[in-house]
Amino acid sequence: MLSELFVFALEPLALVTIAERAGVSSGGAHKEVARLEAAGLVTSRRVGRTRLVTANPDSPFYSDLRGLLTKAFGPRVLLTEALAKVPGVRKASIYGSWAASELMPMRRPARDIDVLVLGSPDLQLLYTVIDQVEADVGVPINITVFAPEEWEADESGFAETVKSGPQIELVG
């Protein structure tokens, strides 16, 4: 439940959605959210009959908890495992807004994940495993594939921005 709220949720989640994603009963989710809210880690509000829950960015624990959960259960872990199944991936990293939000946990999660893959992977297999991770995290994943030599020689604005910006290594 914590990773759903602190890592993946881009907006408040309905209590029933949290229960489904976490694989717990609605009653169990209700009790846990009550404890988290009493500790100041989450906040909730009612909209009609729906209880919407969100991580509390004003909590003194928010930054540390989000950072820890992102490192333990977030896209980095899932993408690393997925990319290990794809022959031909020599290097891979998360870049852009997700990398920045993971390296600076006070930021809200990014709305998508950008992944740079260097090598000559089987593209069908690559997109198949990435689609599974995308379904698991509930956030769009954008893949950019380059041959390593092509990437090293690329001096475009895109390449310079990625090379000079934050990156989270996944493979290599």
- Rounded CA-CA distance 115/143 in Å is 5
User: Strand 113-119 to strand 89-95: parallel, antiparallel, or no bridges (unpaired)?
Assistant: antiparallel
State pTM to two decimals. Answer: 0.72
Task: Please give the average pLDDT of every successive group of 10 residues along the chain, which has 172 residues.
Answer: 84 93 92 96 96 94 86 87 96 93 69 95 96 87 97 96 95 93
Let me know the angle formed at the C-alpha of 122 by 119 and 162, rounded to the nearest 5 degrees: 40
As a whole number of angstroms, the distance between CA 2 and CA 152 comes to 39
Structure confidence at residue 139 (pLDDT) = 84
What's the Cα-to-Cα distance from 152 to each of 20, 42, 82, 117, rounded to whole Å?
A: 44, 44, 25, 13
- Give pLDDT, residue 128: 96
Q: CB count, 10 Å around CB of 130?
A: 21
Domains defined for the chain, CATH in brackets: 2-63 (1.10.10.10), 74-171 (3.30.460.10)
